[in-house]
Chains A and B, each alone.
Chain A
Amino acid sequence: MMRYLRQVLTIAGKDLRVELRTRERVAAMGAFVVLTAVLLNYAVDRTVIHPRELAAGMIWIVITLAGLLGLGRTFELEKEDGALEGLLVAPVPRDALYLGKVLANAALLGAIAALTLGVFALFFQLTLPRNPLPLIGVILVGTVGFVALGTLFSGITAGSRMGETLLPILLFPLLVPLITFGASATASLLAGFPPEEAVYSLRVLAAFTLVALTAGVGLFRFIVED
């Protein structure tokens, strides 16, 4: 068990170290978030609706799109210099490899999600709840669920001719629960309702994440080449 955990952490550490040295994905995703928020400001007619009223939903859409931008690169990176072959011959079970990648992607996208929340709060004068823990919990659980599915599917798209363009087609139909309950919980927390109101949504998000992780752990071994 400890050994397995160490393997997962090693894979995640490797991915995060690569990211820390190049800072390519963080820069691309971070800039994407800020610029999308800027565009949103001009896309909305303020005499009709204030962007604040769209914030909860837009935050989730932006996290999803930024996540797509970063996830597509998960396995592209490994294509260079036969890095993937190296990973696959390492004495690590395939599911540990998957979980390590999910962990690294979740850390990355979690940071981007926090940035998204901050940017929206700054640009559109959101009042963040005094106790931010429930909101952080909702966004974290949702992010892990998204990354769990996205990492599995990016393994597929990296092996196909269409590459990253295929990712949204595979991923978006399955994200309806995430967006529905993520946005509703976020909206209720941002509106200052007591955290108990978001418990049901958080539960469904957790179920989604659990299903996604289970599917990923069980199926990942079939999509990496033997």
Chain B
Amino acid sequence: MSLRSVRWAGALLGFAGVALTVLFHWQVFFWVPTEASMGIVQRIFYIHLPAAWVAFFAFGIVALCSAVYLWLGEEKLDHAARSAAEGGMIFTTIVLTSGPLWARLAWGTWWTWEPRLTLTLLLWFIYLGYFLVRSSTENRERSRKFAAVVGIVGALNIPLIHMSVLWFRSLHPQPVVARTDGPQLHPDMATTVFTALGAWTLVFLSLFLLRYGVARMEAEAERLEAAEASARPLGEQGVVTP
């Protein structure tokens, strides 16, 4: 895809995503019926769940692009992995803020070692390591490879981490855990969830494409700068000619 079409697609998806985001917030605040047992606080769920879905989706893209990058060595794939990771970090942060807000009222505690909670927190730190590796490695080529390795190993470990946190919790059952799987989901609730899911998927894809465009322009600018620097006569490069 040309850079131009990437940016256009990003902008269009962004407008659609924002429109749907406004729509689903209207649904959440004014339209959807209040859940019987949890009350008003259950509405956080419509923000929380799509964010979690997008965060995991983003991590999948990071791992996939990283693996193919190592295989083919195509720089664009690294830009894609990095852009997806940045989007994933945003949505993981949304999950980690909205979750405890809900849990405080529904479970009576800000934090509990609930498996998905724990997994998301660890995911956030894996992303953090991914960015720190990138920013603290001077050599571009190497920083890309390092980050790709971190992205892949992180993704490989997700199933095992998930297994551990599940198993750990089954050993220590929580006394008060709200069950969401009691009654069937009301059709209006399902509609709201799917609107929200669509909205944030579009927002993520838009951010992803726009960031990817910027990454490509950055790389291009760097190349031009380097080419220009080497084309200048020695005296202007700061080298004193005798």
B132 contact set on A, CB distance < 8 A: 162, 166, 169
Contacts known (A166-B132, A211-B156, A211-B160); A159 close to B125, Cβ less than 8 A: no
Bitwise, B120-163 to A at CB < 8 A (1) or not (0) is: 00110110110011001111001101101110111011001101
A204 engages B136 (CB within 8 Å): no
CB distance from B146 to the nearest CB of A (A): 5
| Residue from the list A180, A207, A208, A222 in contact with B149, Cβ < 8 A | A222
Please tell me if the beta carbons of A215 and B136 are within 8 angstroms of each other in the complex: no
How many A-B pairs have beta carbons closer than 8 Å: the answer is 88
Report the separation of the CA atoms of residues A159 and B140 in the bound assembly, to the nearest whole angstrom.
12
The residue in chain B whose Cβ has the minimal distance to the Cβ of A162 is: B136
A176 touches B149 (CB 8 A): no
State whether A176 touches B161 (Cβ < 8 A). yes
Enumerate A149-166 residues with CB–CB distance to B below 8 Å.
149, 152-153, 156, 159-162, 166
Q: Contact check: which of B142, B160, B167 meets A225 at CB < 8 Å? A: B142
Q: Verify B164–A181 contact, CB threshold 8 A.
A: yes
A174's partner among B138, B148, B161, B163 (CB-CB below 8 A) is B161
Alpha-carbon distance A176/B169, docked complex (angstroms): 13
Chain A contact surface mostly:
helix
Q: Does B215 contact A (CB under 8 A)?
A: no
Interface string of B88-113 (1 = CB under 8 A from A): 00000000000000000000000000
Verify A174–B137 contact, CB threshold 8 A. Answer: no
Q: Give min CB distance, B27 to chain A, whole Å.
A: 35
Q: Does A170 contact B (CB under 8 A)?
A: yes
Residues of B within 8 A of A181 (CB): 164, 167
Given the interface pairs A160-B146, A215-B153, the reply to whether A222 lies near B70 with Cβ below 8 Å is yes
From known contacts A156-B133, A169-B132, A219-B153, infer whether A177 and B160 are also in contact, taking CB-CB under 8 Å: yes
- Would you call B57 an interface residue if the criterion is a C-beta within 8 Å of the partner chain's C-beta atoms? no
Q: How far is A120 from B215 in the complex, measured between Cα atoms in Å?
A: 52
Measured CB to CB, the closest approach of chain B to A153, in angstroms, equals 8
Interface status of A223 (Cβ within 8 A of chain B)? yes
B165 at the interface (CB under 8 A from A): yes
Is A173 part of the contact surface with B, judged by Cβ < 8 Å? yes
Known A-B contacts A156-B150, A159-B146, A222-B149; the reply to A177 vs B136 at CB < 8 A is no
A185-224 interface (Cβ within 8 A of B): 204, 207-208, 211, 215, 219, 222-223
A172 near B: Cβ within 8 Å? Answer: yes
Tell me which of B122, B138, B146, B148 has the highest count of chain A C-beta atoms within 10 A of its own C-beta: B146
Quick check: A219 and B136 within 8 Å, CB to CB?
no
Q: Are A161 and B122 interface neighbours, CB within 8 A?
A: no
Chain A neighbourhood of B161, CB < 8 A: 173-174, 176-177
Tell me which residues across on chain B come within 8 A of A173, comparing CB atoms. 122-123, 125-126, 129, 154, 161
Closest Cβ of chain A to B145, distance in Å, is: 5
Closest 4 CB pairs of A and B: A180-B164, A162-B136, A173-B122, A170-B129
Contacts A152-B153, A170-B150, A173-B161 known; 17 new A-B pairs at CB < 8 A: A153-B153, A156-B149, A161-B138, A173-B154, A174-B126, A174-B161, A176-B161, A176-B164, A177-B161, A177-B163, A177-B164, A180-B164, A180-B165, A180-B167, A215-B156, A222-B149, A223-B149
- Give 13 CB contacts A-B under 8 Å: A160-B136, A170-B129, A174-B153, A174-B157, A176-B164, A177-B160, A177-B163, A208-B160, A211-B157, A215-B152, A219-B149, A219-B153, A225-B142
